[in-house]
Structure 1
């Protein structure tokens, strides 16, 4: 394993992959600016905090902030040759995977929540009160964390070598070194999660269309329903896409069917561009499309401007 990380680091330096930090930093900065603003809008409004859809959205934003922060820290350390101890590297990568899975699972719940609100409008608030939504979010984080944390514990228990510092800290290399049986478990974990989430999303959207097709909201080409569906579809594609690319990376790494440079390039594009991209777009695809959040944000900005004028 030390030789693999050294070769990976040499490829990073040879291809000057540190230049990929530019798009990664820009996308991360956009996320770290926009997401806290939307979170502030939700947390500062008692009415928004009582809405299930806004609680789910706030959880997505929290997961995105955590993911991009950890992801950028890993990328910077790898680019500048900062070597972490193996146990710390495993914990950091587990946090990254947990944040990614937590965001994807919450997005799936947002689709199910939209379906429930349309399908049972009169019983919706009674069936999904804020307290039950918070319990569901706790369950989401437990489900997202249980497998990555279990893998970290297993790797630490089974690895009887002295602590060492890998040249690069990557989820791909950590998972690629745990053996065939454990690697098969990783594939099953991601495959089952992707299939279940995709099936639930497709079912909810199909049922939504069946329930609302006679209401006339789909007749106009640029109706709000069509634009909302398009925004959700783009966001889901952007969130799920990097996970599929990562599965391809893991397969190429384990089979050795591609050259080292090809694997390094795929990983660099995925981690520096494809993974931060949906997090930077989410505030605009989801958050600012909600009128309540948009109005609350304008109100907060107006109050701040008036406060500055009063102080001056």
Structure 2
């Protein structure tokens, strides 16, 4: 494990680089996007959980899980950025906990959107058996398993980090997932790369396979004939969203690689990490609630019903 002096020097260099390049301006879009998403996601979650029909559908439970994981990720990401912006000394144990939960939330989102594609494939491939294969109770157990699976490895790494550090109580000038995992990586370089890269590659290949199979199963149904058919537009929108969700993960793998290279400028590492954290990781989470609200008619219809009901209650109370 890296010494306390090395950690202190590294985090201080990171702060100096942030100030030298005036990267605090990246916090502005971060706050705006985070606030917009945190306003939209609870509305969609209310539509899903207040409707008995929607909360019994597997696809809407998966959407709800994605939105909740995104909210957790955004809250932690914003909290960490605020701490870094005001140069707060974050204790190692707190930073490690933030790291573990942030990685868990990100991995949970990736796993859930992968399951969303698998769910769509199952619904098209076995329409008569679909509800028997994925009843609500089984979906709940699957989602619990997704959270557990996403949490096991990052929390294991944090525990290893705390055990290796001993009882030292020093704080960090910046708390970043990259710094935490990058320092652990000295002794677990292969394991971390295997976890992130292989897991992301497996999910991407599974999604690609399901889309290919979906096209082969439905190509004779005529839904792909029109250039602007609903199937093509849905596939394009979902494909763009999936690309935006997966890209930050692969960029983070690049960040871990650059972190270990001594011949790479420190400024380059800081720029790549900042852009990934403040832009790339926020884009899909900013688009997701609006895309889901437009893509799923049942959600938009439920939202309109709730708005009309609220408007009617307001008018009755006013009269």
- TM-score normalised by L of structure 2: 0.96
Contact 2:197 2:250 in 1 (8 A): no
What residue is the counterpart of 1:207 in the other structure? 213
Trace 1:108-257 onto structure 2 (pairs within 5 A).
108-160=114-166, 162-257=168-263
What residue is the counterpart of 1:81 in the other structure? 87
Q: 2:271 aligns with which of 265, 270, 278?
A: 265
Contact 2:185 2:192 in 1 (8 A): no
RMSD over aligned CA atoms reads 1.0
Tell me, in whole angstroms, the C-alpha distance in 2 between the residues paired with 1:303 and 1:285. 24
Contact 1:66 1:99 in 2 (8 A): yes
Deviation, 1:301, is 1.1
Tell me, in whole angstroms, the C-alpha distance in 2 between the residues paired with 1:67 and 1:179. 22
Tell me, in whole angstroms, the C-alpha distance in 2 between the residues paired with 1:197 and 1:48. 26
What residue is the counterpart of 2:107 in the other structure? 101
Tell me, in whole angstroms, the C-alpha distance in 1 between the residues paired with 2:141 and 2:233. 31
Contact 1:106 1:140 in 2 (8 A): yes
Tell me, in whole angstroms, the C-alpha distance in 2 between the residues paired with 1:286 and 1:296. 13
What residue is the counterpart of 1:61 in the other structure? 67
What residue is the counterpart of 1:13 in the other structure? 19
Tell me, in whole angstroms, the C-alpha distance in 1 between the residues paired with 2:299 and 2:259. 43
Structure 1 stretch 297-306 or stretch 167-176: which is displaced more? 297-306
1:64-90, CA deviations, whole angstroms, 9 ceiling, x for partnerless residues?
Answer: 000001001111111111111010110
Deviation, 1:24, is 0.5
What residue is the counterpart of 1:23 in the other structure? 29
1:194-238, CA deviations, whole angstroms, 9 ceiling, x for partnerless residues?
Answer: 121011101100000000001000000000000110011001000
Indicate whether 1:299 and 2:293 are aligned: no
What residue is the counterpart of 1:70 in the other structure? 76
What residue is the counterpart of 1:287 in the other structure? 293
Tell me, in whole angstroms, the C-alpha distance in 1 between the residues paired with 2:102 and 2:190. 20
Runs of 4+ in 1 over 3 A off after TM superposition: none
Q: 1:90 to 1:122 in 2, by over 3 A?
A: same
Q: Secondary structure at the match of 1:178?
A: helix
Tell me, in whole angstroms, the C-alpha distance in 2 between the residues paired with 1:106 and 1:73. 24
Deviation, 1:14, is 1.5
Deviation, 1:307, is 1.8
Tell me, in whole angstroms, the C-alpha distance in 2 between the residues paired with 1:91 and 1:41. 32
Tell me, in whole angstroms, the C-alpha distance in 1 between the residues paired with 2:251 and 2:262. 16
Tell me, in whole angstroms, the C-alpha distance in 1 between the residues paired with 2:184 and 2:100. 14
Deviation, 1:310, is 2.0
Deviation, 1:161, is 5.3
1:91-122, CA deviations, whole angstroms, 9 ceiling, x for partnerless residues?
Answer: 01111110000000000000000000000000
Note the residue ranges of structure 1 that are not aligned, 5 or more in a row: none
1:240-271, CA deviations, whole angstroms, 9 ceiling, x for partnerless residues?
Answer: 00011111111111113321111111111110
1:115-166, CA deviations, whole angstroms, 9 ceiling, x for partnerless residues?
Answer: 0000000000011100111110001001100000000100011112511111
Q: Secondary structure at the match of 2:172?
A: coil
Tell me, in whole angstroms, the C-alpha distance in 2 between the residues paired with 1:281 and 1:195. 23
Contact 2:258 2:269 in 1 (8 A): yes
Contact 2:41 2:289 in 1 (8 A): yes
Q: Secondary structure at the match of 1:214?
A: helix
Contact 2:44 2:293 in 1 (8 A): yes
